[in-house]
């Protein structure tokens, strides 16, 4: 694989996990506001369906980021930690991405489960 492609995969694997978690979090907040707002209840937004769709899409993107990080790690697994810049940097970010994407996936799964199981609007 070319160095340019490895660098693209490295940055995708590193940045996609946190970004997609944050965007799904914002999407969940927006959906919650739309469902719980008395003025928009007439639209009949199915909150659980939207929350599951957001969680599923986020997990799909996180899986793609994890695969990208794995491909980069596999390509530079023989590089030394204190080695020359391109391969050592690629390996560092790939290892960080492999761990971080698993953590973001757990956050997405747990928050999706908690959102679906819990009641949406807590108004009196």
What pLDDT is recorded for position 101?
Answer: 96
**Nearest Cα to 32, choosing from 18, 19, 21, 48?**
48
Residue 37 belongs to domain spanning? 3-117
Would 124 be classed as within a structural domain? no
45 in a structural domain: yes
Q: Is residue 11 part of a domain?
A: yes
pTM over 0.85: yes
In a domain, 122, yes or no: no
Total tally of structural domains belonging to the chain? 1
Q: Is residue 75 part of a domain?
A: yes
Please give the pLDDT value at position 47: 87
48-89 pLDDT, tens digit per residue, is 899 999 999 999 999 999 999 999 999 988 877 777 778 888
- Residue 97, sorted as left (phi over 0), alpha (psi -120 to 50) or beta, turns out to be alpha
Instruction: Return phi, psi of residue 67, to 5°.
Output: -65, -40
- Mean pLDDT for the chain? 89
Structure token digits, residue 106? 């757990």
Is residue 97 a part of any domain in this protein? yes
What is the average pLDDT across 117-123? 74
């Amino acid at each position: 694989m070319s160095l340019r492609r490895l660098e693209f995969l490295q940055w995708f694997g590193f940045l996609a996990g946190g970004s997609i978690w944050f965007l799904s979090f914002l999407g969940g907040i927006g959906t919650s506001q739309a469902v719980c707002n008395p003025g928009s209840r007439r639209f009949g937004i199915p909150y659980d369906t939207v929350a599951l769709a957001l969680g599923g899409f986020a997990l799909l993107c996180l899986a793609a980021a994890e695969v990208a990080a794995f491909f980069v790690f596999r390509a530079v697994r023989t590089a030394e930690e204190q080695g020359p810049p391109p391969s050592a940097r690629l390996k560092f970010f790939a290892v960080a991405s492999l761990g971080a994407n698993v953590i973001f996936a757990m956050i997405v799964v747990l928050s999706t489960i908690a959102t679906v199981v819990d009641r949406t609007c807590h108004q009196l």
